[in-house]
């Protein structure tokens, strides 16, 4: 299938990347927010420009079966992929070459880098969570095992000391990485398979989604449900992701929609995004929180702006310099700041994807 990427109309902050020959199973924003990686049933990984309708380089080829999961290293120089071919691939983002192949020996559903980039976790068939040493390209420890059926999703805590896993047995577990023991859970509440899990940016909460059509928020320390389940999707929810500040959650489901949820209220923000023509398999927030990428059964990757829904999260009590520092730290501002000390104003160029300009007058 020939590659195509396109904007979807004047004034719409949305890019559709067409190129995969089959279902897109996983998407991930790069740490600098400039690109999005996708893994597909067509056995390839592709990297897309987040701000213009064009691919970055050629497809990454090497897997012999569908690519279930993709994840960027914290520095953005390495891409990991988990596949049905029972391997985990490591790729050099700059050259597009495969750096290594880790033999998991079981089907891999999910991959996640530790915050320091030294470790990589994989979730697999048979209830196995494996932690790998990225530099040595070997197992960092014996597998974490629990009688959970399939581990569909794994994610490191922000401090790297814990791992959360979501499984086909409807439960969530939090593991101590060093001791390889369950420290919270099994967390029960979902009534069907748990397809995706993630820690909040401050590590205090865990979000999960399930085939029971709900999204749930949990206390990461106690495993207690926070508030009521988020209900709105009309079919299996495949993927969830926290925004960089932890204020919002994005979700993608088999009902073909991407939804945005306000964590503070537990309510859906505005109407769902309905651009896909088939099931949504994966969602990912940009580092500055202004964009959401999604991958779908329709073979497409869509990147859309959510700025009009969430606004720029800058507190009014911040000085202009604090605002600038805050935006830089989340990847929103990387071009320039023109400071006027007399008025304490700034023009900040947002490099978060579509070149928005934010004017702060505080």
Q: What is the pLDDT of residues 120-168, one digit of tens each?
A: 999 999 899 999 999 999 999 888 887 778 999 999 999 999 999 999 9
Q: What's the CA gap between 102 and 343, in Å, rounded?
A: 56
pLDDT at 325: 53
pLDDT of residue 316 exceeding 60, the answer is: no
Give φ, ψ of 293 to 5 degrees. -100, 150
Give the fold, CATH level 3, of 4-310.
Methylamine Dehydrogenase; Chain H (2.130.10)
Tokens for 88?
């985990």
pLDDT of residue 315 exceeding 50, the answer is: no
pLDDT of residue 8 exceeding 70, the answer is: no
pLDDT at 227: 94
N residues, the chain: 362
pLDDT at 53: 79
Sequence spans of domains, the chain: 4-310, 320-361
Tokens for 141?
């420890």
CB 91 within 8 A of CB 82: no
Q: What's the CA gap between 225 and 207, in Å, rounded?
A: 10
Tokens for 307?
């700025």
3-state secondary structure of 322: helix
Q: Which residues contact 342 (CB under 8 A, 6 or more apart)?
A: none
pLDDT at 323: 53
Q: What's the CA gap between 74 and 77, in Å, rounded?
A: 8
CA dihedral 19, 84, 135, 47 (to 10 degrees): 10
Please provide the average confidence, as pLDDT, over all residues in the chain: 85
pLDDT in tens, 265-278: 999 998 999 999 99
pTM of the model: 0.84
pLDDT of residue 343 exceeding 50, the answer is: no
Work out the average pLDDT over 215-240: 96
Work out the average pLDDT over 38-45: 96
pLDDT of residue 314 exceeding 80, the answer is: no
pLDDT of residue 230 exceeding 90, the answer is: yes
pLDDT in tens, 179-204: 988 999 899 999 999 999 999 999 99
pLDDT at 5: 44
Radius of gyration for the alpha carbons in the chain, expressed in angstroms and rounded? 20
Least confident of 38-47, 108-117, 134-143: 134-143
pLDDT of residue 177 exceeding 70, the answer is: yes
320 exposure class (CB count in 10 Å sphere: 0-12, 13-18, 19+): buried
pLDDT at 126: 87
More confident residue, 295 or 324: 295
Residue holding tokens 């009590």?
317
pLDDT at 226: 96
- Percent of the chain with pLDDT strictly greater than 70: 82
pLDDT of residue 322 exceeding 60, the answer is: no
pLDDT at 321: 56
CB 90 within 8 A of CB 100: yes
User: Cα–Cα–Cα angle for 124, 197, 281, nearest 5°?
Assistant: 80
pLDDT of residue 45 exceeding 90, the answer is: yes
pLDDT at 147: 72
The secondary structure of residue 30, as a DSSP letter, is: -
pLDDT at 309: 72
Work out the average pLDDT over 291-309: 91
3-state secondary structure of 308: helix
pLDDT at 152: 96
pLDDT at 146: 74
């Amino acid at each position: 299938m020939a590659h195509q990427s396109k904007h979807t109309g004047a004034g719409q902050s949305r890019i559709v990347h067409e190129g995969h020959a089959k279902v897109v199973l996983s998407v991930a924003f790069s740490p600098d927010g400039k690109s999005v990686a996708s893994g597909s049933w067509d056995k390839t990984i592709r990297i897309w420009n987040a701000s213009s309708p064009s691919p970055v380089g050629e497809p990454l080829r090497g897997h012999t079966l569908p690519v279930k999961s993709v994840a960027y290293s914290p520095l953005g120089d390495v891409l990991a992929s988990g596949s049905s071919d029972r391997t985990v691939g490591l790729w050099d983002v700059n050259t597009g070459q495969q750096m290594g192949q880790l033999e998991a020996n079981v089907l891999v559903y999910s991959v996640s880098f530790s915050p320091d980039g030294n470790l990589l976790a994989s979730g697999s068939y048979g209830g196995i969570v494996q932690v790998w040493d990225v530099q040595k390209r070997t197992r960092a420890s014996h597998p974490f095992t629990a009688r959970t059926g399939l581990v569909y999703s794994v994610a490191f805590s922000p401090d790297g000391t814990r791992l959360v896993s979501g499984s086909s047995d409807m439960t969530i577990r939090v593991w101590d990485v060093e001791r390889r023991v369950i420290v919270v859970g099994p967390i029960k509440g979902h009534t069907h398979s748990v397809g995706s899990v993630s820690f909040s940016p401050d590590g205090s909460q865990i979000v999960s989604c399930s085939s029971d059509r709900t999204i749930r928020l949990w206390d990461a320390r106690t495993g207690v449900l926070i508030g009521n389940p988020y209900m709105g999707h009309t079919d299996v929810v495949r993927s969830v992701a926290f925004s960089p500040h932890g204020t919002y959650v994005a979700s993608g489901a088999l009902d073909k929609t991407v939804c945005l949820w306000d964590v503070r209220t537990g309510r859906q923000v505005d109407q769902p995004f309905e651009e896909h023509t088939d099931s949504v398999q994966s969602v990912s927030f940009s580092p500055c929180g202004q964009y959401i990428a999604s991958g779908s059964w329709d073979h497409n990757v869509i990147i859309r702006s959510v700025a009009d829904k969430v606004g720029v999260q800058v507190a009014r009590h911040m000085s202009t310099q604090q605002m600038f520092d805050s935006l830089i730290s989340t990847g929103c501002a990387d071009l320039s700041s023109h400071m006027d000390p007399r008025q304490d104003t700034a023009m900040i160029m947002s490099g978060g994807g579509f070149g928005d300009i934010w004017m702060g007058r505080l």
